[in-house]
């Protein structure tokens, strides 16, 4: 680019210089042809009627030419022998014999050879104190004999063909003897450039560059009168100059224009500086624009990122932040608080979602107050918050947890409704409980569920809970393949009537897993219910019990009741009734001997639906037993509504009956109510005869417990029956 700039600057100079040379050459040509015209006019005047024969007439002719040109100092007529014939020059200048003087002889002779004008050598006139440029023409008679040589005397310094483009120098020299004709710098008497011809170097340069650059001879250039430009060493200073020249054929003159190459460089550097300044300005503008754009992009980016990782409602971090952005730092232990608002659903349900949103905002504000600057507060989901605190000291954590509970417990006043709420907190610690963030979060969640059981409470996760949790997970995992691996089987616990005869059996499921060993149904039924496995397991229980008891009944040729525990999850399953009826039908078991044991908690579900279902079973002669009565949520009014046949008194009451008088009283009441409702009373968990006797005295007619038999496998049950 810089090289380009230099080349283009030089090109500009060459164009300017060549134009200048052309203008100079043209104006010089015009000037000389004007003088030639003047000479022609005088020539005619002299020859007409041979005016030249009289000095007086001749002088008249010379004077008659109207001269407006200040450059013309006068005219002179010379005889062919070189002597002055006549001059109208007013000065006292003495003209020497032109043939005798070395400087003038050559051009004088040359004038006499030619028909056109010839320029005489420029010389210094001591009298005029001026440089004089003579222009001469030979005047011939009709036969061609030379009569005179007519000369115009021009003030060489006044030839104003130089317009002022100062940086350029202009010279004109003759083509035949290379003497300067016009030299426009500091010419004076002492420094007289007209005395010597042009330095040989310049001439050689012209010749050489013409031949090299233009591939032409000097003669060809002279003939074509074209402008040539080349670089040449200045013969005085040895500076390099850019030289341009044109040859004027008519007057045999080289018109030269010169400029030091330094001028080109000066302009080039100026341009370079401008360019540099321009570039700097552009750079700053671009930099400014760029930084403005960049800044606004950054702002946009930041806003987007803020949006992505923050909760719109509370401006706290959101769940995505935890998933994508939060990173554990090795040496920065922290505690993760999982905070869940208790019964938040009821606030939403009774006041609407907008109200709920306002409550959440208020909660977040209260939490923010308890936060240190480098802690994280996240709204994890609807009413769940995560608080990450960089402190694992147990005392500090407990203090903070209490503060949170207390703060959220303070009355809320929103839209002029005042109320209170509470939350449940679970806390896990890094790296004490786990190294992995998801695990920490899960443990805090587990601890939170522990708190949920009581509410308005915090629980710090302990590794003992972790074992339970891990066991639970393992159980979930093993349970899935338990049926496929034939790990499940049924046991049957006999139920005895007042006379000591077999009334029926309760089917109880058993699970023996190779990794977990024997797992209590109390534990795995809950997991089966929670993981959606209960339907499959329930079908297995029903089908196996029906099939095995059917076989036993055939083998011992006795009919008795089969009591099957039905989980709520099974009970509310769509089409449970039709499927159960189909299973019974398929097994060939007498439907009259089927009892379904349900617990009070089925009543949490749609009670009308349950009642209808029970009625339908009753129509098919299936008996319904209410298991664990008195342990959970139940009422007498409910008892009246449900179409049941049997009331099963829970083992926990039976356990206390001999020692605890209030238990005794309670059982007495329950039995009398049951009696009033025409229900059969069955007591389970009988381990001692006294228990049986007491219960019998209150009106219990059926008994089940270790006193009679533990739950038995199919073959053991057959033996048990056959012994009776
Ligand atoms: P549940 O229905 O109340 O079953 C009675 C439980 O008391 C049985 O425990 C039985 O083995 C135990 N038991 C009976 N008599 C005595 C006694 O004299 N002393 C003692 N210490 N225990 C006695 P199991 O079999 O461990 O079952 C526990 C619970 O698991 C059951 O309570 C029931 O809720 C559930 N469960 C068991 N099998 C099934 C089943 O096939 N289906 C469903 N849905 N739940 C079942
Ligand atoms: Ca039961
Ligand atoms: Ca029970």
Strands 240-248, 84-87: pairing is: unpaired
Q: What is the mean pLDDT of residues 452-459?
A: 92
- Ligand 1, residues 505, 521, 538: which to mutate, most atoms within 8 A of Cβ? 521
Q: What is the mean pLDDT of the chain?
A: 89
Is the distance from the beta carbon of residue 525 to the nearest atom of ligand 1 less than 6 Å?
Answer: yes
Q: Whose CA is nearest to atom 17 of ligand 1?
A: 685
The pLDDT tens digits of the residues spanning 468-527 come to 778 888 898 899 999 999 999 999 999 999 999 999 999 999 999 998 999 999 999 999
Percent of the chain topping pLDDT 70: 96
Q: Which position has the token pair 């496929």? A: 484
**Strand pairing of 561-565 and 502-513?**
parallel
**Ligand 1 close to Cβ of residue 685 (< 6 A):** yes
Assess contact for 463 and 431: CB atoms under 8 A.
no
Per DSSP, the residues of 19-30 read HHHHHHHHHHHH
Tell whether the model's pLDDT for residue 161 goes beyond 80.
Answer: no
Q: How far is the CA of 401 from the centre of ligand 3 (A)?
A: 39
As beta bridge partners, residue 429 has 335
The answer, yes or no, to whether residue 162 has pLDDT greater than 60, is: no
- What letters, b where the CB count within 10 A reaches 16 and e where it falls short, cover 126-157? eeeebbbbbbbbbbeeeeeeebbbbbbbbbbb
Per 3-state DSSP, the chain is made up of helix, strand and coil in percentages (nearest 5) of 50, 25, 30
pLDDT > 80? residue 90:
no
Average pLDDT over residues 153-177: 75
Preceding omega of 431 cis (within 30 degrees of 0): yes
Instruction: State mean pLDDT over 346-354.
Output: 86
SS3 letters for 308-363? HHECCCCCCECHHHHHHHCCCCCCCCEEEEEEEECCHHHHHHHHCHHHHHHHHHHH
Cβ neighbours of 564 (radius 10 Å)? 24
Residue 699 has pLDDT above 90, yes or no: yes
Closest-lying ligand 1 atom to the alpha carbon of residue 566 = 44
Give the DSSP per-residue string, 263-316: HHHHHHHHHHHHHHHHHHHHHHHHHHHHHHHHHHHHHHHHHHHHHHHB-TTT-S
Please name the helix (run of DSSP H) or strand (run of DSSP E) that holds residue 12, with its range, or none.
helix 2-47
Q: Which atom of ligand 1 approaches the CA of 534 most closely?
A: 44
pLDDT at 75: 86
Give, as residue ranges, everything with CB less than 5 Å from ion ligand 3: 627-628, 650
Cα 536 to the center of its chain, rounded Å: 52
Q: How far is CA 565 from its chain centroid?
A: 61
Question: Which of 495, 508, 632 should be mutated for ligand 1, with most atoms under 8 A from CB?
Answer: 508
Residue-level pLDDT at 634: 57
Whether 571 shows a pLDDT value over 60: the answer reads yes
- Reported as a pLDDT band with limits 50, 70 and 90, residue 635 is low
E strands, 630-718, where? Answer: 646-649, 680-684, 702-704
Residues ≥6 apart with Cβ < 8 Å to 272: 2, 5
| Lowest-pLDDT choice from 128-137, 194-203, 656-665 | 194-203
Task: Provide the pLDDT for residue 566.
Answer: 96
Helix (H) or strand (E) holding 503: strand 502-513
Burial of 57 (0-12, 13-18, 19+ CB in 10 A): middle
Closest ligand (CA of 563): 2
Q: Compute the distance from residue 620 Cα to the ligand 2 centre, in Å.
A: 21
Give the pair of three-digit tokens for residue 166: 């100062």
Binding site membership of 507 for ligand 1 (Cβ less than 6 Å):
yes
Regarding the beta carbon of 522 and ligand 1, being less than 6 Å apart is answered: yes
Rounded to 10°, the helix 534-556/521-531 angle is: 130
Judge whether residue 373 has pLDDT over 80: yes
With a 6 A CB cut-off, is 651 part of the ligand 1 pocket?
A: yes
In the three-class reduction of DSSP (H, G, I as helix; E, B as strand; rest coil), residue 87 is classed as strand
Task: Kindly state the tokens that stand for 644.
Answer: 């049941």
Q: How far is CA 675 from the centre of its chain?
A: 78
In the predicted model, is pLDDT for residue 604 greater than 80? no
Q: Give me the mean pLDDT over the 195-224 stretch.
A: 83
Ligand nearest to the CA of 685: 1
Beta bridge partners of 564: 507, 596
CA gap 403, 389 in Å, rounded: 14
More reliable by pLDDT, 207 or 49: 207
- Is the CB of 600 inside a 6 Å radius of any atom of ligand 1? no
Atom 13 in ligand 1: residue holding the nearest Cα: 685
Yes or no: say if 421 and 408 are a contact pair by the CB < 8 Å rule.
Answer: yes
The tens digit of pLDDT for each residue in 8-48 reads: 888 988 998 898 889 888 888 888 888 888 888 888 888 87
In 3D space, the residue among 253, 100, 71 whose CA is nearest the CA of residue 179 turns out to be 253
Q: What is the DSSP string of 535-547?
A: HHHHHHHHHHHHH
The confidence score (pLDDT) of residue 123 equals 87
Using a 6 Å cutoff on CB, does residue 493 contact ligand 1? yes
3-class DSSP state for residue 613? helix
The pTM score is: 0.50
Contacts of 636 (CB under 8 A, 6+ apart): 673
3-state secondary structure of 427: strand
* Ligand 1, atom 19: closest residue by C-alpha: 685
Residue nearest to atom 45 of ligand 1 (CA): 565
Q: What is the pLDDT, as a whole number, of residue 126?
A: 82
Q: Which residue has the tokens 């001692």?
A: 688
Q: Going by DSSP bridges, is the β-strand pair 702-704/680-684 parallel, antiparallel, or unpaired?
A: parallel
Average confidence (pLDDT) over 175-198: 80
| Portion of the chain with pLDDT greater than 90, in percent | 48
Q: Which range is least confidently modeled, 91-95, 201-205, 523-527? A: 91-95
Q: Rounded CA gap, 441 and 321, in Å? A: 14
Q: What is the 420 CA–ligand 2 centroid distance (Å)?
A: 41
């Amino acid at each position: 680019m810089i090289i380009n700039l230099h080349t283009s600057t030089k090109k500009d100079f060459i164009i300017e210089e060549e134009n200048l040379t052309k203008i100079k050459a043209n104006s010089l040509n015009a000037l000389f042809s004007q003088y030639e015209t003047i000479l022609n006019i005088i020539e005619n005047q002299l020859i007409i009627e041979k005016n030249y024969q009289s000095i007086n007439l001749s002088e008249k002719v010379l004077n008659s030419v109207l001269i407006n040109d200040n450059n013309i100092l006068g005219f002179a007529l010379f005889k062919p022998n070189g002597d002055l014939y006549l001059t109208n020059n007013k000065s006292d200048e003495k003209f020497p014999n032109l043939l005798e003087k070395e400087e003038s002889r050559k051009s004088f002779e040359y004038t006499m050879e030619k028909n056109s004008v010839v320029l005489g050598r420029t010389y210094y006139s001591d009298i005029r104190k001026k440089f004089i440029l003579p222009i001469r023409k030979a005047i011939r008679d009709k036969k061609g004999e030379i009569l005179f040589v007519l000369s115009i005397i021009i003030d060489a310094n006044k030839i104003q063909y130089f317009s002022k483009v100062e940086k350029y120098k202009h010279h004109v020299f003759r083509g035949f003897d290379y003497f300067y004709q016009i030299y426009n710098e500091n010419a004076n008497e002492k420094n007289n450039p007209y005395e010597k011809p042009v330095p040989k170097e310049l001439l050689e340069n012209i010749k050489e560059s013409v031949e090299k650059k233009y591939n032409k001879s000097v003669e060809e250039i002279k003939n074509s009168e074209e402008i040539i430009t080349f670089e040449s060493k200045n013969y005085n200073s040895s500076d390099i100059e850019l030289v341009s020249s044109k040859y004027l054929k008519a007057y045999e003159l080289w018109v030269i224009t010169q400029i030091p190459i330094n001028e080109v460089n000066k302009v080039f550097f100026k341009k370079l500086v401008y360019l540099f300044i321009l570039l700097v300005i552009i750079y700053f503008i671009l930099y400014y624009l760029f930084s403005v754009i960049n800044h606004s992009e950054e702002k946009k980016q930041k806003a987007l990122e803020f949006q992505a990782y923050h909760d719109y409602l509370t401006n706290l971090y959101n769940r995505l932040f935890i998933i994508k952005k939060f990173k554990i730092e090795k040496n920065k232990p922290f505690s993760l608080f999982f905070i869940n608002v208790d019964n938040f659903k009821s606030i939403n349900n009774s006041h609407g979602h907008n109200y709920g949103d306002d409550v959440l905002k208020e909660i977040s504000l209260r939490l923010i107050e308890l936060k240190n600057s480098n802690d994280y507060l996240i709204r994890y989901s609807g009413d769940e918050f995560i608080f990450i605190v960089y402190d694992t000291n147990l005392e500090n954590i407990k203090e903070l947890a209490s503060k949170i509970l207390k703060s959220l417990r303070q009355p809320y006043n929103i839209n002029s409704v005042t109320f209170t709420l509470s939350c449940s907190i679970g806390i896990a610690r890094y790296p004490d409980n786990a190294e992995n963030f998801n695990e920490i979060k899960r443990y805090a969640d587990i601890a939170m569920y522990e708190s949920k059981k009581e509410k308005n409470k915090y629980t710090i996760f302990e590794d003992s809970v972790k074992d339970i949790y891990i066991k639970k997970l393992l159980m979930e995992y093993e349970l899935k393949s338990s049926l496929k691996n034939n790990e499940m089987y049924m046991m049957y616990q006999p139920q005895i009537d007042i006379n000591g005869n077999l009334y029926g059996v309760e089917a109880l499921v058993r699970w023996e897993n190779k990794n977990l060993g024997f797992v209590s149904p109390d534990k795995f039924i809950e997991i089966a219910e929670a993981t959606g496995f209960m339907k499959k397991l329930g079908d297995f229980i029903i089908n196996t019990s029906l099939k095995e008891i059917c076989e036993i009944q055939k083998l011992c040729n006795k009919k008795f009741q089969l009591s099957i525990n039905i989980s709520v999850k099974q009970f509310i399953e769509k089409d449970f009734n039709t499927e159960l009826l189909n299973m019974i039908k398929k097994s060939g078991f007498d439907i009259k001997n089927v009892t379904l044991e349900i617990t009070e908690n089925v009543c949490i579900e749609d009670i009308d639906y349950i009642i209808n279902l029970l009625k339908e079973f009753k129509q098919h002669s299936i008996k319904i037993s209410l298991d664990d009565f008195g342990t959970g949520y139940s009422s007498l009014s409910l008892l009246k509504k449900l179409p049941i046949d049997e009331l099963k008194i829970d083992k926990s009451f039976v356990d206390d009956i001999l020692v605890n008088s209030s238990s005794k009283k309670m059982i007495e009441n329950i039995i009398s109510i049951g009696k009033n409702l025409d229900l059969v009373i069955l007591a389970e968990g009988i381990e001692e005869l006294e228990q049986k006797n007491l219960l019998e005295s209150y009106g219990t007619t059926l008994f089940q417990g270790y006193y009679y038999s533990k739950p038995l496998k199919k073959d053991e049950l057959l033996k048990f029956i056959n012994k009776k």
